[in-house]
Chain A
Amino acid sequence: MSEVATPLIEVRNLKRYFGNSDKPVRAVDDVSFEIRAGETLGLVGESGSGKSTIGRTVLRLIERTAGQVLYRGDDLAALSGERMRRLRSKLQIIFQDPYASLNPKMRISAILDEALSTHGLAKGRRKERIAELLELVGLRPEHASRFPHEFSGGQRQRIGIARALAVEPEFIVADEPLSALDVSIQAQVINLLADLRERLSLTMLFISHDLDVVEYLCDRVVVLYLGRVMEVSTTAELFARPLHPYTQALLAASPKPDPLDKTEIIPLKGDIPSPMNPPSGCVFRTRCPHAIDACAQTIPLLADKGAGRLSACLRDDLITSPS
């Protein structure tokens, strides 16, 4: 939790639409946030909220429709292919599915070697470096000669992490890295990520739908709904006192592992609307228990609601001072 204020990554008014028709899928619609050096920023939301699209657009794995992604002040989209390729060693990703993201026909040594050779790293000492990387993620050097199918899900995720770390990145997008894993294995990988983050001073964009994991791992959180930012807050404040009605509903909906917690869950009504045809005004208003007529008229801006907390909601009258 470093307190350095310079943003490493700055996302400005990012948009990503899919399809060319007059009704495109608005996967990401005018999203802005920054990630400070050394910080872990959580990106939470339900299916269709645009969190994975943001992760990939930030790394230019898919191109943006509009907006900017600045890395140390440079707009990534404006870089030539060659310069972007060189920069990729600084910007890495860990994928959700450790079964789909490792080539089944490549030995682990080849998977890691490819990352190193692409960026011309560890010349003449590849074997040692691969052994180092495997040890770094809690595997053994002799695992290098094996194929992905010889590993369990948790071990495969460790290999995916080793591959991302092979090129000595500064910034990692972790796209739901835990959701394919069982709880007992999840805790192992959470600890590994937390250790590595500290040892290698990594900056991270942590994408997840699991609020408990986000609360544990992240310094700040961006809450998304239907491609738009609903709220941005430090983790502690967000979980103690969520401001946006959607954040409140999201927190209330996830059952705590405690049978004595008898908070009655009042579920949100209805389904998430289609991103091809989002509601006018505030995208959350169709399910919001506090929506008023004005919510259908204007798109609420992400605004400072005091104490540096950002929320995109017209109903300022609902905000109560902390009790």
Chain B
Amino acid sequence: MTTNRLTVSGLSTCFPTEDGLVRSVADVSFSIAPGKTTAIVGESGSGKSVTSLTLMRLLPKTARAQVEGQARFVTRAGREVDLLTLPNAEMRRLRGNELAMIFQEPMTSLNPVFTVGEQIAESVRLHKGLGRAAALAHAKRMLDLVEIPAAAQRLHEYPHQLSGGMRQRVMIALAMACDPTLLIADEPTTALDVTIQAQILVLMRRLQAETGMSILFITHNLGVVAHHADDVVVMYAGRVVEAAPVRPLFASPAHPYTQGLLACLPGKAHAAGQPRPKRLFAIRGQVSSPLAPPPGCAFEPRCDQAIAACAQAVPPLVDTGEMRHARCIRVPSVERNAA
């Protein structure tokens, strides 16, 4: 059995606010195998981005985040470390090196006053101790790797001289510069047009096949998930509500929220050649405020299948067999099935 690249267990992130403690991420557990892609899916406020920022330890100090849980990461050398408790200096050695991240908005995540070559070179000089000239040559190889035309010339350009798709390629080149073992991609194609999105996704897939890196893919786009993830973690209001390999999840979603999310997609409303239905399925209501979460299951106020017991206590995430998990008292666990 292969060891997972990353195993997150019981991760919680809380932020103190004037109106009380906000629990953005609560008891989140998942893992990513080497060379595989795990997608975290969820809507605004589901905690998917806070999860990734917590793992990378990139939350601003001023947020005074209270973090609990474990994130066991296996380094290239085979050493196991906990990303959440690692000393800052060691974390800095991993970040940008073995752990890389790409963000949604390439314009705000690149430095506007440095050329793209200098930005890529910086990380290899820092982590690999390369000299200036060697680092710049490496940066050019990276731009070639992400298929940027005329790389030698682009090396000396500033981010504002590039299109959105090109900037995202530069972000990927930057992330790939030190040959990471885990890439966290937080909505990497959301700001891009669909034909450019297709280019970036094909590129990411090629790089993964070539390097064997693991990818944590954070997105709200279920079409992208269907095509690019091996495993899927569905989050709602800070918690994992369902986790499963991609095919069974789309074929037979267990949690009512996942069922609703898939059913309300206009693209799934009718099969090819069939007439469109008069109404789409819609999940009623809206996400409750994180300051006043419901006492029981967070999805209970919007759930069509809710029963009285759902409002009593937060249901546990249970093993439902065949590598699947769900957080719903109406979904039987393996033990209950066996009994």
Q: Which residues of A contact B (CB under 8 A)?
A: 46-47, 152-155, 182-188, 190-191, 194, 209-213, 215-217, 239-240, 249-250, 252-261, 265, 267-269, 271-272, 287
Contact pick for B282, options A187, A210, A257, A269, CB 8 Å: A187
Contact B226 A259 (CB under 8 A): yes
Residue B197 interfacial (CB < 8 Å): yes
Classify the secondary structure of B's interface with A: helix
A257 touches B266 (CB 8 A): no
Q: Which 10 A-B pairs have the closest CB atoms?
A: A212-B267, A187-B264, A255-B223, A216-B266, A46-B193, A182-B43, A187-B282, A267-B198, A253-B198, A184-B283
**Assembled-state Cα–Cα distance A239/B266 (Å):** 14
Q: Are A268 and B220 in contact (CB under 8 A)?
A: no
A271 touching B197, Cβ below 8 Å: no
**Shortest distance from the beta carbon of B167 to any chain A beta carbon, whole Å:** 11
| B contact residues around A209 at 8 Å (CB) | 193-194
Q: A183-B43, A191-B280, A191-B282 are in contact. Are A250 and B194 (CB under 8 A)?
A: yes
Contacts of A271 in B (CB 8 A): 163, 165-166, 196
Q: Assess whether B85 is interfacial by the CB under 8 Å rule.
A: no
Q: How far is the CA of A259 from the CA of B224 in the complex (A)?
A: 9
Task: Give bound CA distance, A30 to B67, whole Å.
Answer: 57
Which parts of B117-136 form the interface with A (CB within 8 Å)?
none
Chain B positions within 8 Å of A47 at CB level = 164, 193
**List of B residues within 8 angstroms of A272 by Cβ:** 163, 193
Other CB < 8 Å A-B pairs besides A255-B224, A265-B227, 5 of them? A183-B43, A185-B43, A187-B281, A211-B194, A268-B199
List, in ascending order, chain A residues with CB within 8 A of B225's CB. 257
A194 cross-chain contacts in B, Cβ below 8 A: 278-279
> In whole angstroms, what is the CA distance A194 to B269 when docked?
14
Nearest chain-A residue to B163 (Cβ)?
Answer: A271
Kindly state whether residue B272 has any CB partner on chain A within 8 Å. Answer: yes
Q: Least Cβ distance of B144 to chain A in Å?
A: 16
| B250 contact from A153, A217, A253, A258, Cβ within 8 A | A258
Contact of B202 among A154, A213, A267 (CB under 8 A): A267
Task: Give the contacts of B284-322 with A (CB-CB under 8 A).
Answer: 284, 286-287
A152 to B280, CA, bound (A): 21
Is B260 on the interface with A (CB-CB < 8 A)?
Answer: yes
Nearest Cβ on chain B to A1's Cβ, whole angstroms: 10
Residues of A close to B193: CB separation below 8 A = 46-47, 209, 272
11 A-B interface contacts by CB (under 8 A): A183-B43, A190-B280, A209-B194, A215-B267, A216-B266, A256-B223, A257-B250, A258-B268, A261-B227, A267-B195, A271-B163
Contacting B195 at CB < 8 Å: which of A154, A212, A255, A268?
A268
| B265 at the A interface (CB under 8 A) | yes
CB of A186 within 8 A of CB of B264, answer yes
Contact check: which of B199, B228, B250, B286 meets A185 at CB < 8 Å? B286
B34 to chain A, nearest CB (A): 21
Q: Which residue of A lies closest to B275 (CB)?
A: A236
Residues on the B chain within 8 Å of A186, using CB: 264
CB neighbours (8 Å) of B151 from chain A are none
Residue from the list B224, B267, B284 in contact with A188, Cβ < 8 A: B284
A184 touches B282 (CB 8 A): yes
A246 to B282, CA, bound (A): 32
Q: Which of A46, A188, A257 contacts B226 (CB 8 A)?
A: A257
**Are B223 and A184 neighbours in the complex by a CB distance under 8 Å?**
no
**Cβ of A184 and Cβ of B260 under 8 Å apart?**
yes
The complex places the Cα of A166 from the Cα of B141 at a distance, in Å, of: 59
Contact, CB under 8 Å: A184 / B163: no
Q: What B residues does A240 contact at CB under 8 A?
A: 272-273
Closest beta carbon of chain B to A295's beta carbon, Å: 18
- When the two chains form their complex, are residues A187 and B266 in contact, meaning their CB atoms are under 8 A apart? yes
Q: Which residue of A lies closest to B276 (CB)?
A: A216
Is B331 an interface position by the 8 A CB rule? no
Complex CA–CA separation, A47 to B163 (angstroms):
12
Least CB distance from B253 to A in Å reads 11
Q: Which residues of A contact B194 (CB under 8 A)?
A: 46, 209, 211, 250, 253-254
Residues 217-237 (chain B) with a chain A CB within 8 angstroms? 220-228
User: Are B280 and A253 in contact (CB-based, < 8 A)?
Assistant: no
Complex Cα gap A260–B246 (Å): 10
In the assembled complex, the CB of A234 is this many whole angstroms from the nearest CB of chain B, namely 13
Q: B44, B221, B224, B227: which has the most chain A beta carbons within 10 Å? A: B227
* B 142-165 binary contact with A (CB < 8 Å = 1; else 0): 000000000000000000000111
Closest residue to A225 on the B side, CB-wise? Answer: B195
B247 at the interface (CB under 8 A from A): yes
